[in-house]
Structure 1
Amino acid sequence: MAFRFIDSHCHFDFAPFKGNEALYLQMAKDRGVTTFIVPSVNQSNWNQVNGLSKQFDGIYYALGIHPLFITSNYEKELESLAALLDEENNKCVAIGECGLDFWHQDNDKEIQISVFRQQCLLAKKHQLPLIIHSRKSHDMVVKLLREIKPERGGVIHGFSGSLQQANQFIELGFYIGVGGVISYERAKKTKMVVSQLPLDKILLETDAPDMPLFGFQGQKNTPDKVQKVCKHLALIRKESMQTISETVYKNTTSLFGI
């Protein structure tokens, strides 16, 4: 039985993919990965992710401002983002990567919250899902989502919170992004959480070229590894690869409208 996968979060405009796209796309396709969602980090790579979607059928993209890539020019960037989203483009399937990152104490939380709030409002206006980066900030992300109520929901990328936090996001219409972290023995809490989530609320992702799986530490992560993430998830949940791959494929096409 051949499996079909979508890498729901892959930075395909970064090295080592840049300039070698055909090679890495073929590697992925050889492992059943047919479709890729490429989020941006700020205005510096909006054109690149759009360009990749025009060049390759299986690539879709998201426009957003990542909390760790907020520049001093963020107000103008938000205006530019709003203007771009007003243009019709059916391969722009989400707003992201956006969110909050309170890991580093020296980051300006108030600016992060303001930039994220504006993107949530844009998601609501344009009826687009959100691709959310949330680190040490789940409670504030939940608070803002409850306040704004973006109807199309989205995905909490690279989730590593508690089961209670995951369920709060699910109640708000969000999916939980599961990646290579579940391949590590030490990730006991995350593995326990993904074993108990409803399968119809899970997406698979690599975060390539970051977040390599166990056994590939020190190497650039690649989108073909979605198959390995699925394999680990099947072992953790004691379900078949077929069941997981089919359900998660439907989840992803449903969320992003592809």
Structure 2
Amino acid sequence: MKIIDSHIHFDQYDERKQSQILADMEKEQVEALVTVSMNLESSIKNAELSRKDSRIKPAFGFHPEQPLPSEQELNELLIWMRANRHNMIAVGEIGLPFYLRQENPAIDLAEYIKIVDRLLAFAKEIEKPVILHAVHDDAPIVCDLLEKYGITKAHFHWFKGDGETIAKMIRNEYRISITPDVCYERDIKDLVAVYPLELMMVETDGPWEFEGDFKGKATHPAMIQESVRRIATIKGLPIDHVYETLYQNTKDFYEI
């Protein structure tokens, strides 16, 4: 019953915790970690981590929940990503700053759209999957951009959105990934109920911390085991089938 954490900020853990997670992986049946990046510095760290341990599969990009990069910073990131494209599993994490705009509604969304547009164009050019941070009202905008570039290998992590957007994403066969909050959040349970298992993966988004039975615990890929059990219950499917499908979905999507 192998699992793959399809979205983790591994470089954001301290060295002690990184070592502990890597040491635990075989015991916890965690085959690989798809580790996403925040910016150029983060991308470089994840590249270095992957060279030390091949189970770390790095994605490079610019996380939208932070201030805009300068034109020079964005160009430096793209130049570095191009030079390291053979070492990257995907372009990510990229998207739009939904939560940042809740704190500061004056943020110019148009400038973030320009950045994600450039990064999607780059992903299309180098033929890599994209890992997306696009929730609620931002998701339809990103869906339109994906269609603009004809990108089908799109992974919406920790997705939240309305029924119309969900239906469109299913039609386009976009992937989503489910975090441990499926164990206690009604909207995530409802999403799991309607989204096809064949288009689903699992993640932690670590080191983000969770509530419910996970409250106060450091986020660890082993938490995915409980997520898989909950998904199986919601879907009314045999646990072995759910494990195998989620595992194979991730391997096939990322060509691991």
1:37-61: CA deviation from partner (whole Å, max 9, x where unpaired): 0000111211110011101121101
Kept after mapping to 2: 8 A contact 1:175/1:202: yes
Task: Tell whether 2:125 aligns with 1:125.
Answer: yes
Name which of 237, 243, 246 aligns with 1:245. 243
5+ residue gaps, structure 1 = none
5+ residue gaps, structure 2 = none
Task: Tell whether 2:96 aligns with 1:96.
Answer: no
CA distance in structure 1 between the partners assigned to 2:126 and 2:95 by the alignment: 18
1:146 maps to which residue? 147
Which of 248-257 and 157-166 deviates more? 157-166
Q: Give the superposition deviation at 1:63.
A: 0.5
CA distance in structure 2 between the partners assigned to 1:39 and 1:85 by the alignment: 13
1:52-82: CA deviation from partner (whole Å, max 9, x where unpaired): 1101121101010011134442x22332233
Alignment of 1:167-186 (within 5 A): 167-184=167-184
Which of 141-150 and 92-101 deviates more? 141-150
Q: Give the superposition deviation at 1:89.
A: 4.9
Kept after mapping to 2: 8 A contact 1:95/1:129: yes
2:37 maps to which residue? 40
Q: Give the superposition deviation at 1:213.
A: 5.1
Match of 1:169, as an amino acid?
M
Q: Give the superposition deviation at 1:242.
A: 1.0
Aligned length: 251
2:72 maps to which residue? 76
2:188 maps to which residue? 190
Identity %: 25
State the secondary structure of the residue aligned to 2:62.
Answer: coil
So what's the TM-score if we normalise by structure 2? 0.91
Structure 1's 225 and 44: CA in aligned 2 closer, same or farther, altered over 3 A? same
Runs of at least 4 residues of structure 1 off by over 3 A?
A: 88-91
CA distance in structure 1 between the partners assigned to 2:69 and 2:245 by the alignment: 42
CA distance in structure 1 between the partners assigned to 2:91 and 2:23 by the alignment: 27
1:215 maps to which residue? 213
So what's the TM-score if we normalise by structure 1? 0.90
CA distance in structure 2 between the partners assigned to 1:85 and 1:192 by the alignment: 37
Quote the RMSD (CA, aligned, Å): 1.8
Which of 161-170 and 195-204 deviates more? 161-170
Structure 1's 166 and 214: CA in aligned 2 closer, same or farther, altered over 3 A? same
